[in-house]
């Protein structure tokens, strides 16, 4: 694919859904950066400024952040919030935007594996055994921890 702006080889694909219509754009890294998009594989930086026009200018009231004085209308133009208080001041209008942008309102990322939970539990149990001076039990727990850390299942007792 070729960059829509300069004709060089495109490396960034941008898809925008506006009023139910999917638009697709191809840009080179330089043009994408100039447009406010990042071309890096781990740094996705989509410009909220480009998403905001699709929002209806609901509510004829222009909200203002009490902490920094930023107006909702300014945020709509720039896509940038002024401070942490803006999240609270604009919560009612931001949450639908964030939900649409991220695909939901809740984080559903990685969580510790069962093995990590087991290691944590065993370490706490080992600490308790040492405090009670139950050294034989502590040695068994220590061996189970080593086996889990090394990926080798513990021997049957």
Q: Does residue 115 register a pLDDT over 70?
A: yes
Give the pLDDT confidence of 11-38 residue by residue, as tens digits: 887 777 666 677 788 888 888 777 766 5
130: confidence class by pLDDT, cuts 50, 70, 90: very high
Predicted local distance difference test score (pLDDT) of residue 78: 87
Q: What is the mean pLDDT of residues 108-121?
A: 79
Identify the residue with better confidence: 143 or 34.
Answer: 143
Torsion, Cα 134 137 141 143, to 10 degrees, reads 110
> Would 77 be classed as within a structural domain?
yes
**Mean pLDDT for the chain overall:** 78
Residues 95 and 118 placed together within one structural domain of the fold:
no
* Boundaries of domain holding 85: 60-102
The total of structural domains in the chain comes to 3
> Would 75 be classed as within a structural domain?
yes
Identify the residue with better confidence: 65 or 155.
Answer: 65
> Would 154 be classed as within a structural domain?
no
Residues 91 and 122 placed together within one structural domain of the fold:
no
Q: For CA atoms 8, 9, 15, 19, give the dihedral sign.
A: positive
Q: What stretches of the chain adopt beta strand conformation (E)?
A: 12-18, 21-27
> Would 89 be classed as within a structural domain?
yes
> Would 108 be classed as within a structural domain?
no
> Would 134 be classed as within a structural domain?
yes
> Would 91 be classed as within a structural domain?
yes
**Residue 73 near residue 60 (C-beta atoms within 8 A):** no
Identify the residue with better confidence: 37 or 100.
Answer: 100
Q: What is the mean pLDDT of residues 47-66?
A: 61
Instruction: State the SS3 of 69-112.
Output: CCEHHHHHHHCCCCCCHHHHHCHHHHHHHHHHHHCCCCCCCCCC
> Would 155 be classed as within a structural domain?
no
């Amino acid at each position: 694919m070729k960059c829509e702006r300069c004709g060089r080889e495109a490396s960034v694909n941008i898809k925008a859904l506006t009023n139910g219509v999917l638009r697709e754009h191809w840009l080179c890294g330089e043009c994408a950066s100039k447009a406010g998009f990042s071309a890096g594989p781990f740094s996705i930086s989509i410009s909220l400024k480009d998403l905001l026009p699709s929002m209806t200018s609901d509510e004829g009231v222009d909200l203002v952040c009490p902490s920094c004085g930023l107006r909702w209308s300014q945020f709509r133009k720039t896509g940038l919030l002024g401070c942490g208080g803006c999240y609270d001041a604009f919560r009612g209008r931001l949450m639908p935007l964030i939900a649409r942008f991220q695909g939901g309102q809740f984080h559903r990322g990685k969580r510790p594996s069962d093995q990590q939970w087991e290691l944590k539990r065993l370490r706490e149990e080992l600490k308790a055994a040492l405090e009670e001076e139950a050294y034989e039990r502590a040695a068994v727990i220590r061996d189970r921890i080593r086996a889990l850390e090394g990926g080798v299942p513990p021997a049957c007792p």
